[in-house]
Amino acid sequence: MKLKDGSNFPNFGLGTWFLGENPLTRAEEIKAIRTGIEMGVNLIDTAEMYGNGLSESLIGEAIRQTGRDSLYLVSKVLPENAGSTRLEKSLDATLRRLGTDHLDMYLYHWRGSYPLEETVGRLQQMVDKGKILRWGVSNFDTDDMEELLEIPEGRECCVNQVLYHLGSRGIEYDLLPLLRDEGIKVMAYCPLAQGGSLRSKLLSSSVVKEVAQKNGVSVFQLLLMFVLHMDGVCAIPRSGRSSHVKELVEASRMELSEEDYRKISEAFPAPNHKTYLDVV
């Protein structure tokens, strides 16, 4: 897909929430990242919050052998670091851990106490310095986006990363249409419903299992395919196992019939009213 600046943006990538925090699983997690890269995945999403930098350090080690040039690296700044001189210091630490001199995308993780205009200004400064190529936000609901877009430089925002999956479709009511109108893409975290209480309902759904079986895919693959089917949406599922990454990459290259998409959509319909933005 294309971002508003005309650059290409992958519709599928690897999320890394919780990766790097357990020394016992580190080797397998590095293998999982490298497996994805070997299969052609170039987008890797992380954040300074994840393990207080441990996720970024894990990625830095994983990509040291594969090379940086073909990768699309995304990280996020915490609200308490999103203003004053703290943002650049925080970004520099992220770059050191990743072993790179720039990010392809830098996201404001969620709203904090710094004035939004100040944060936007700092992000634009990092673009001017070449430390990031572009920026976006995360966990911004409709009112947040409307406020952002009133700031002149706010229209440089390229993506909004939010929770989105078959069982959590609240963004389809008003946020997703707004983003589409503004040419801002969605990065869907937890597309496999890895957070929250709806996962069990999705995994036990007779309709979901029926459609998955009909297409010869797992339920998790089906959930990913649903998200990727949505226009203007990139999915970043997290996995620390190489075998699981292989399944997800394979699913990212598959399509269901429109009838099958309709069936699972009707089983878990989008709300017809405004809902609060899900964050877990």
Per-residue confidence (pLDDT) for residue 195, from 0 to 100 = 64
pLDDT at 66: 86
Q: What single string gives the DSSP state of each residue in 14-74? A: EE-TTTTS-GGGHHHHHHHHHHHHHTT--EEE--TTGGGGHHHHHHHHHHTTT-STT-EEE
Q: What are phi and psi of 104, to 5 degrees?
A: -75, -30
Domain boundaries, the chain: 13-193+232-240
Q: Which residues are catalytic?
A: 50
In terms of pTM, does the model score above 0.85? Answer: yes
Q: What is the DSSP letter of 114?
A: S
Specify the pLDDT at position 199. 85
Parallel, antiparallel, or unpaired: how do β-strands 13-15 and 105-108 relate?
unpaired
Q: Report mean pLDDT in 10-residue bins for the chain, 280 residues.
A: 96 97 97 97 98 98 92 98 97 98 98 97 98 98 98 97 97 98 97 81 95 97 98 97 98 97 98 89
Partnered with residue 162 across adjacent β-strands are 188
- Please state which architecture CATH assigns to domain 13-193+232-240: Alpha-Beta Barrel (3.20)
Strand partners, 103: 132
